[in-house]
Structure 1
Amino acid sequence: MKAYLLSIAAGLLVGVVYSLLGVRSPAPPMIALAGLLGILLGEQIIPLAQRIMTKDDVAEFVMTECRDHVLGRLPGDAHDAHDTRDA
């Protein structure tokens, strides 16, 4: 959870600096977020296709490795109990 708060704080700080300098962000926010989502999902196409071709459990991959990569470890996730990096 600490990483999320630090990320938001850093974004707010950059926003304040942009405002003080009188400049706008380099991309409209929704376009930038859509592009980032496309990158994250695109990174999963090859591993997903490999699992389909080898007939591995695709649903398990999507619900574990793929989800963790695209969404990150969410607060309250079972992995958080063993992850001390955010402590």
Structure 2
Amino acid sequence: MMPYLLSAGAGILVGVIYALIGVRSPAPPTIALIGLLGMLVGEQVVPVVKRLIAGEPVVAFIQTDCARHVLGPQAGAEAPPDAAAKGEKV
């Protein structure tokens, strides 16, 4: 139940921000897509900061986990050994 309440709260907050900047909802596609990208990137800020504070490696985490979350499952994927040997891209 909590994720639904948090999602509704985030939606209300975004609605208030849209009203303040004068964007009607549903937002024009470009504004909506940029907003979604901002949400995806924003979700990754907390884990990155936690890793920085803990002294854990950050660059590898961004290149693998963050890239997969923001860009999809193929992002940051390693090439299979036989494809890498042939110079193929995944």
Normalising to structure 2: TM-score of the pair?
0.54
Cα RMSD (Å): 2.4
State how many pairs are aligned.
55
TM value normalised by structure 1: 0.55
Q: What is the correspondence of 1:1-87 to structure 2 with a 5 Å cutoff?
A: 26-74=26-74, 77-78=77-78
Name which structure has the greater RCO, CA cutoff 8 Å, separation 6+: 1
- The sequence identity of aligned pairs, in percent, is 48
Deviation at 1:27, TM superposition (A): 1.7
Quote the offset at 1:35 in angstroms.
0.4
Give structure 1 stretches of 5+ with no counterpart. Answer: 1-24, 80-87
CA distance in 2, matches of 1:45, 1:56: 15
* Structure 2 gaps, min length 5: 1-24, 80-90
Instruction: Give the 4+ runs in structure 1 shifted more than 4 A.
Output: none
